[in-house]
Amino acid sequence: MNAEPQDGTVGKALSVLDAVAEKGGPVRFAELLADSDLPKATLYRLLQTLVSQRMLTLDADTGTYALGPRLMRFAHAAWSIASLGPIARPHLDALSAEVDQTIHLAQLDHGQVLYLDKRNAARPISMFSDAGKIGPAYCTGVGKAMLAHLGAEALDEALAQQSWFAHTSKTRTTAEALKADLATIRVNGFAFDDEEHEPGIICIAVPILTEAGQPLGAMSITSSTLRHTLQELQGYAPNLIATGRAIAAEAATWRFRTPNKPH
């Protein structure tokens, strides 16, 4: 049922975490057992271990498991240390002040788009509610902007991981159709999402590239067909591209900075 490699006990433990995460709510032991191919006793001990490690919580009253708080600590550290988030933050703030539009920052993970930060037109705060969310790569602006700058082998691997679901009538549902679009994106330096993911939602996105041309992430301005045309969105391109370059430049120096002493 699962094509992923297992990597022994650790892999199994993580797949259990995945199973709990996918449930979208508190889960009973029997439910997990039914979904999993692990034997009863094995799953049971794995759950015990994960609870003891605070990766899961067990509600004693209802006998249900949920994801644990320790994951949020890890994620905070991951965002702060290992993502574009902190570097991009001031740039997003500046861009947000300039263009009063919805802005997304994302990176590529496992062939999918992982959102790192967000600015809303009205509300100015970003939290886990936005960061950590995942979305498809083949039909979003940020996704396509990054795919367009992947090497041949990495691209094929990523394309193999797409679901190719036709979210709208405009969604590109084959690798060939997408590759043609990616070629255009590479030439233009920016990507459009022309209602490919949600009807009425359009966006323009730019990649954030290393000096070697590898995509570190991407950034987008989102709007609706009621408020903008693609032509109008294209007006943001120079600003977006400049911001993307600025973030990339900082990221290049960041990669070699001295690690902080803890405490």
Partner DNA sequence: TAGCGAGTTCCATTATTTGAAACTCTGTTT
Partner DNA sequence: AAACAGAGTTTCAAATAATGGAACTCGCTA
Residues at the site binding DNA, with contacts judged by CB under 7 A: 8-10, 12, 28-30, 33, 38-42, 44-46, 63
44 close to 32: Cβ distance less than 8 angstroms? no
The phi and psi torsions of 83 (rounded to 5 degrees) equal -125, 170
Whole-number Å distance between alpha carbons of 147 and 215: 8
Q: How many separate helices (H) and strands (E) can be counted in the chain?
A: 10, 9
Q: Is 27 in the site for its own copies (CB under 8 A)?
A: yes
Q: Is 98 in the site for its own copies (CB under 8 A)?
A: no
* Least distance CB 208 / DNA (angstroms): 27
Which element (helix H / strand E) includes 206?
strand 201-209
Tokens 């993970």, located at residue? 109
State the binding partner of 29 from DNA, its own copies, none, CB within 5 to 8 A by kind.
DNA
What's the CA angle centered on 73, arms 68 and 75, to 5 degrees? Answer: 100
User: Is residue 135 exposed (0-12), middle (13-18) or buried (19+ Cβ within 10 Å)?
Assistant: middle
* CB of 7 vs DNA, minimal distance in Å: 7
The least CB distance from residue 22 to DNA, in Å, is 18
Residue 121 interacts with its own copies (CB under 8 A)?
no
The entry of its own copies, DNA, none that residue 38 binds, CB within 5 to 8 Å by partner kind: DNA
Q: Is 245 among the residues that bind its own copies (CB under 8 A)?
A: no
Query: Which one of its own copies, DNA, none is in contact with 63 (Cβ closer than 5 to 8 A by kind)?
Result: DNA
Site residues for its own copies, window 57-96 (CB under 8 A)?
57, 59, 62, 66-83, 85-86, 89, 93
Name the 3-class secondary structure at 169.
coil
Among its own copies, DNA, none, what does residue 40 contact (CB within 5–8 Å per kind)?
Answer: DNA
Identity of the residue, 112 or 181, whose beta carbon is nearer to its own copies in the bound complex: 112
Residue closer to DNA by CB (options 13, 105) is 13
State the binding partner of 118 from its own copies, DNA, none, CB within 5 to 8 A by kind. its own copies
- Distance, CA of 186 to CA of 262 (rounded, Å): 41
List the one residue from 104, 118, 149, 197 that touches its own copies (CB under 8 A). 118
Contact, 220 vs 144, CB < 8 A?
no
Which residue, 52 or 225, is less far from DNA as judged by CB? 52
- Structural Rg of the chain based on CA atoms: 20
Count of residues that interact with its own copies, criterion CB under 8 A: 76
Neighbours of 255 (CB within 10 A): 9
